[in-house]
Every structure is written in C-alpha cells, then in structure tokens.
Structure 1
C-alpha cells in the first residue's frame, strides 16, 4: 500500500492541472485565477519612506500595499457570525486564520465516528465519505440526523466546502488575497477571494484504506497539537478557539453516541523543539482517538509516523506542504489546508496580474518554506515570469543582512517572503535598506500574513 501511494501521488502531482473557479464570472477556457472584490475597494495612499526609518520597527504605514494569500472562506453572513463567536470566546484574537478549518476538522472526525459507529481506527475510513457526494448539511446536529436516518452526507463547514480526495486532502482551495493598509494592518475593504480546484484526475483518487486496527471504547477523545509556543504561536489562538467551539457544538447536539466528546489539549511548539513529540506521547497515553494539528507541516512530519502507527487519526487544519499528498500514512492522515501547489498557483497569478515580470523569493529553510518557494517559483515561471533568485534563510539568524543584499542584487520587480513570525524582522531589515513594501511590490503567504505580523513589526519584534 505504501509503495502504491507513492507512485500514484507522484504521477498525479507531476501532471496536476488546476482549474481556477471564479467567485464571479468564469470562462472555462481560461486557467487563470479570477477574483471577487467589494463594490468599493477603498484604496490607500502611501508616502515614501523617510531617511530615519528604523530597522527595529515601525508604525508609520511601512507595510502598506503588501499583499498575500491565506486559505479562507469568502466572507458571508455565516462566516461573520462564526468569527463573532470566536471573538466572544477569545476577545484578544487578532486574526481568524485556520480557525474555521480547525472547527471543521473536529466536526468531520465526529461525523466520521458517527458514520462508522466506532471511535477506533475504523472511523478514519469514513472521513472522506462524510465530506462529499451525499446530501448537503452544514451543522453537526443536522448531519447526525441524516446519518441516523441512513442518508449519506456532504458536510459543508464554516470554512466552506470540505470535499476531500481519496488521499485525505481538499480538492478545493479558497483563498483570501489580503492587503495591508496605512496602519500596518489588513484592510478588509481591499480583500478579494480566489477559488482553486484540483484536476479531475486528482479528485477521482480512490480512498486509501486504513491499515492499522485500533479498537474504540465508545468515548470519542480528541487531542490537539496546536501552537501555544514557538514561531507559529500567533496561529494558535484562532485554531484553539475553532476546536473549542466545535467541541461545544458537538456536545450540545448529543456528543458521539450519546456521550460527550472529550478534549485533551496540547502544545505543538515549533520545529526547533521536541514539544510536539512530548505532546503526542502524552496524548497517545491518554487514549486519544484523533489528534488535530499541527499548524506547521514540519512539526506534523516529525510526529505523523508515531500517530498513525498507533492507529490514531492525524488531522491537520493547516498543513499545506505537498509532501503529505503521497505520504505513506496508513490511511490515517487528513488535512483541510489546501496543498501549496494550489497556493503557489494563486499567489503567482496575483503577482503576475499586478504586473511583475521578475521575482525574488526569500524563504524559511524548512519543508514548508522550501516546498512553497518551489511551487510559487514554478507557477510564476509558467505564467511567463522570471524568478531571478531564491534565497533560503535561517529564521534564528541574528541579522538578515546577507538575505537583504541578495534581494537588492536581484533587482527584481517584486519580492515574495515565505516564513513565519520572523518575517517582521526580515521586513524591518528590508525597509531599512529601501526595499520595503513602499519601495517594491511585496508578497506574503499563509505562514506570515495577518494583523499579528503588523503588530510585531510595529513593536520591533
């Protein structure tokens, strides 16, 4: 089974054809992404950087105009209502990134367990099935009622359609293209949305069989592996809020098999620590049936074998690295973060549509950063652009002088920054060198874009 998956996945992604579905008008003959925007896109004015701009921070609109992609559902009344619930649960939330996906991850696990009548490893065989090809339902309670009546379901969640291919990853990617305003925060009036759909071949992949048997005990227990510390800690609060709201809603609707779902919370840390390994060990010892996380693809890669070998479902709301598309995971790994193959395509289209003909990419040196840089560069080149240079960096470096000099030497039309919370320091160095967003079109990704980045930049962090 492992070798079959590897061969099949490589073949599919080597020839992956993307169909970019418009949120508005659509020309099926076109393969370029389409966008929708508010009727009044606001607009912003920027001023040239002054000579006394400090590399330690800002607050004077230095990030204005920087743009980036982030998996997110298009804003609707339902999405806004869910975000309000997240804020009510955690009033200090700065962003909602991957909060909806975290909620849906938990709901899907519980629905799969209900469909299987089993909280053991057998429930994983139903995860893909409850996301597509049945009667649409949008709440746990409604979906359970359909399952109880013997009706196949298609769960559409707060993150949008959750349809999965047979390898356990989404076949539709919904992205918000966000832009910073003059206050170094995301300007919602400038946000547009793009939807990307994978090829028919990818969508038709058969479900991977679950190859590890583990008996359940009738109590669905879900552990979390989400960042409370480390360089992705800014993503933790919305993800944790999403999980907690899901547990609340599931238990309010009767739980699993009439029993409350049990939550065991845990910190993932980041790739520089063994926090995730310790958390997974503790949660497996506690008898969890599924683990939701991690946010970091590199962290997930460090524990996926341990989790799946135990017959436990590993479900990430945020992993985007393409390495998981054909990973030998015993049929037990799933995710709602669309593959970076899709994000690379969307961001490349945004950069090209903005008029850039050449690009320099600075990226975090890990599985996520290396993979997304490759996907972005490949898609940008396919669109007719030139990637002048791709520069890896160590996020723990004391300075980014070498990387800034490489970016200056590239003399490209645009710059893309792929990283996590260290991006604020990299941006400060670029601004100081006259290569900030006010000087050159600057693009970010799901790992760094958000209000938290603006706050860290302003604080010199």
Structure 2
C-alpha cells in the first residue's frame, strides 16, 4: 500500500471495479469522449461529489430513478467493521449512514486517554497528551486495551476505528482513509461499488509523544465532562445521527471500562446548527456554563471558525470529527484544537486522483463559498495541475448556498462543456444537480 498518494484497496473485487468503470466513466464507453465521439451518442459528463453531499440523504431529494446514477465522490471513511456498525445500531437502530461516526467515536476515546495519561480532567493539562495518544508507544485498538497500558505506566498508540490516526504536531491525521462512493440507479449509495484509498504519509506524524505520564494510579473527584456540538439541525443535519451515535457509544464503552480517573465520563449534548444561524454560539455558551472539559464538534468548518476562539479561549479542548478546512492546521488555538478528520489537502489528493484515473481531461468545479468549499476546491485544482492538467482545462466557480437559484452557475458549466463536474457542497447540491440534469450535463442516465 503506497503512502503519499492513494492506493486501491485490495478488498475491491474485480467485478466491482468493472461496475465502477462502466458507471463512473473512464472514457472507454464514450462517457468522457466529445459529443458524438466514440460511442456515437451525446457526451456523458462525469459528476463528482465530496463528503458534504456523498450520502444517502442526497438521494432522498430525487424521485426519478437514475438521477444520480454513476455519480462518484470521496469522503473521509474507513472500512468500518461489522462489529462496530452493529454497536452503533444498538445505540441508534435508525442509522442510514455511518459518515464520521468513527471519527466522533475516536475523538472521545482519545480525549479520555489523554486525561488518563495526564492524571487530570483539566483541558489545559491533558491537551499536550492528545497527539502522543495516536503516535509512538505500544499499539492498542480499544479504550480498555489502551487503558491497561496506561495503568501499567506505558504510553498507548491508539489505532482507531476511523482508520490510521498518527497525528501531526498541529493535532490532525498525517494520513487518512477515504471512501470512493458511487450512487446506483435507485439514487442510493451502492455499497458494492465502494473503494477505499489512503492519502497522506504516516512519516509526517509527530515524534513528540507528549509529557511523561502521570501516576497510573491517579484518581480524580472531578469527572471528565464531554460536550457535543453536532448538527441536529441545518444543512448538515444528515451527519448528526451517526456522529451523535459515535459519541454516545464511546462514552458508554469508556464508562463500561471504568471511566476516567475512577469517575464515569459525563456527556452533555448540543446542536451546532449551521453557519447561517447563531445556534452554535448559543450551544457553546451553554456547554461552557456546564463546565465541559472538551467539546466534540463542530462538523462544519465554517461553524467551527465561529466558535473556536470562544472554546479555546475558555481553556477547553475542541475536537472536531469532521472539520476539513486547512485553515485549522496553523490556527492560533493555544494547542487546544484537534481533529480526527483529515485536512482538505489529503481529500483533495484522493479526489484529484479519482478524476484523473477516470480519464477526464477538462474539469469544472462548483464550490460552496465557505472555508470548506473554497479550501477543498483550491487544493483539488493544485493537485489536478500537479497530475498534468493545464490551468485552462480547469474552470472553477463559487456559489452562495442561500441563492434563489443556480442558473448562472449551471450555464457557466454548460458553456465550458467539461468532461467532469465536481460539486462541493451540502444539501443545496441536490438543486444544483437537478439543474445539471435538466441541461444534460448531470449524472442522470
């Protein structure tokens, strides 16, 4: 398995790969040929999404079969074990997707282990231990097995359910697993077509394992209190259920193993809303009043940017399972911001590789005008150019998600007539794709 770029998962069968090529388009059947090309018919534009819209929630906006057929995209995702998804379903039997459930679960586990190592539930005391929990030391893959190492005076190297962690000095994954997903004829994700790739390089992980562990027999009368700032409402609400389930499962399993420093972990849940409301600010104020030591969230990079100073300024850890904007890599967070989600620099590599491997020579990118959308767009363009595409073969635009319509942006794509269109957005992506379909340049078959 290569690092530094992407590597195909050997778990994908040959039949699945053939199906992906046929539906996703690699140019072999005229899908990316010029209009009236090898296939003798109209040009089939390949449409790609990213983590903000590559979920079954997008398909629920369409009633006509085939409206999303063959649309592919990337999302931070590892091949979750059946055991883990069963445990999640025991928490919430209604889960339809598991996006970011593993990342949320791991954020809580890492927080608890850092507090154990520090012998303290004070965020400013345990935060310096967070990166070391994921790198160096002795490998372990559950809270209970890692806790046993801590109790023996050892430093754990937690390998999480969300894939390789190995945090860098800024507190984010040096490498990450991504799922390449594809919609089927029923506008739902076709699980049989899913591929997994790795982007990044574990060699970039921190060499600093953190301060020496505290007394392994330390206890505390002050319980670890974890708050959540996850999307229960707003344009990312479809991500809320799996993330909430991940947090609840982690806290349940931490407490089943004895809690942290002899006390059960307390979970205080809250809604992040979206960037168009002040829901997140209100939730953060409430969580801080309830003396939380760490806040898991937000999912949206834009939302996190509105509250990060409020959280870290209060001396509380913020640990996002889904922020991908590269603005956070060098953000002045006093060493209190972390994320289990990989930065856009890694997803952009996986997305660009997918686009190139599908044989696309011209690419249009439509991105939500926020830190997530513009950051992922810019990084993807850079990677496409590094892969050999010329600048004039790529056209980009940003859009306002609150716009009454996207007619002008869609017409710009019609005029450009690319082989591939990338839509980087959230729930508003459905209206954009409907418009692309109406103009004959969408995924609809």
| TM-score normalised per structure 2 | 0.85
Q: 2:286 aligns to what?
A: 282
Q: 1:434 aligns to what?
A: 440
Query: Alignment partner of 1:128: what SS?
Result: helix
1:418 aligns with 2:424: yes
Query: Alignment partner of 2:332: what SS?
Result: coil
Give 1:57 deviation, angstroms: 3.6
Give the Cα separation in 2 of the matches to 1:299 and 1:38.
39
1:67 aligns with 2:72: yes
Cα distance change, pair 198–32 in 1 and its aligned pair in 2 (3 A): closer
Give the Cα separation in 2 of the matches to 1:300 and 1:208.
26
Give the Cα separation in 1 of the matches to 2:255 and 2:90.
19
Give 1:204 deviation, angstroms: 4.3
Structure 1 contact 359–385 (Cα < 8 Å) conserved: no
Cα distance change, pair 415–433 in 1 and its aligned pair in 2 (3 A): same
After alignment, is 143-152 or 80-89 more displaced?
A: 80-89
After alignment, is 129-138 or 290-299 more displaced?
A: 129-138
Give 1:217 deviation, angstroms: 6.0
Give the Cα separation in 2 of the matches to 1:186 and 1:407.
25
Q: 2:119 aligns to what?
A: 117
Give 1:388 deviation, angstroms: 2.9
Q: 1:84 aligns to what?
A: 86
Give the Cα separation in 1 of the matches to 2:249 and 2:92.
11
Give the Cα separation in 1 of the matches to 2:434 and 2:403.
14
Map 1:360-379 → 2, pairs under 5 A: 360-379=364-383
Cα distance change, pair 40–157 in 1 and its aligned pair in 2 (3 A): same
Write out per-residue CA displacement over residues 30-70 of structure 1, whole angstroms, 9 at most, x where no aligned residue.
x6522122343172777999xxxxxx843311211110001
Write out per-residue CA displacement over residues 93-122 of structure 1, whole angstroms, 9 at most, x where no aligned residue.
121000001001001000000000000020
1:40 aligns with 2:15: yes
Cα distance change, pair 431–335 in 1 and its aligned pair in 2 (3 A): same
Give the Cα separation in 1 of the matches to 2:137 and 2:394.
47
Give 1:160 deviation, angstroms: 2.0
1:154 aligns with 2:157: yes
1:256 aligns with 2:260: yes
Query: Alignment partner of 2:15: what SS?
Result: coil
Structure 1 contact 208–331 (Cα < 8 Å) conserved: no
Cα RMSD over matched residues? Answer: 2.1
Give 1:87 deviation, angstroms: 2.1
Write out per-residue CA displacement over residues 290-323 of structure 1, whole angstroms, 9 at most, x where no aligned residue.
0000000011111111111111000001111000
Give 1:400 deviation, angstroms: 1.1
Write out per-residue CA displacement over residues 346-382 of structure 1, whole angstroms, 9 at most, x where no aligned residue.
1001000000011000010001101000001111111
Structure 2 contact 364–395 (Cα < 8 Å) conserved: yes
Give the Cα separation in 2 of the matches to 1:287 and 1:57.
44
Query: Alignment partner of 1:186: what SS?
Result: coil
Give the Cα separation in 2 of the matches to 1:34 and 1:300.
31
1:136 to 117, 135, 139: 139
Q: 2:238 aligns to what?
A: 234
1:293 to 297, 311, 314: 297
Give the Cα separation in 2 of the matches to 1:269 and 1:288.
19
Write out per-residue CA displacement over residues 148-194 of structure 1, whole angstroms, 9 at most, x where no aligned residue.
11011101111122210111001111101011111111111111111
Gaps of 5+ in 1: 1-21, 50-55, 210-215, 440-461
Cα distance change, pair 63–255 in 1 and its aligned pair in 2 (3 A): same
Q: 2:339 aligns to what?
A: 335
Structure 2 contact 73–180 (Cα < 8 Å) conserved: yes
Give the Cα separation in 1 of the matches to 2:367 and 2:83.
35
After alignment, is 395-404 or 380-389 more displaced?
A: 380-389
Give the Cα separation in 2 of the matches to 1:408 and 1:344.
24
Instruction: List, as ranges, runs of 4+ consecutive aligned residues in structure 1 with deviation greater than 6 Å.
Output: 44-49
1:164 aligns with 2:167: yes
* Number of aligned residues: 396
Give 1:255 deviation, angstroms: 0.6
Give the Cα separation in 2 of the matches to 1:174 and 1:429.
32
Query: Alignment partner of 2:329: what SS?
Result: helix
Structure 1 contact 165–206 (Cα < 8 Å) conserved: no
Give the Cα separation in 2 of the matches to 1:308 and 1:270.
20
Structure 1 contact 73–160 (Cα < 8 Å) conserved: yes
After alignment, is 65-74 or 190-199 more displaced?
A: 190-199
| TM-score normalised per structure 1 | 0.82
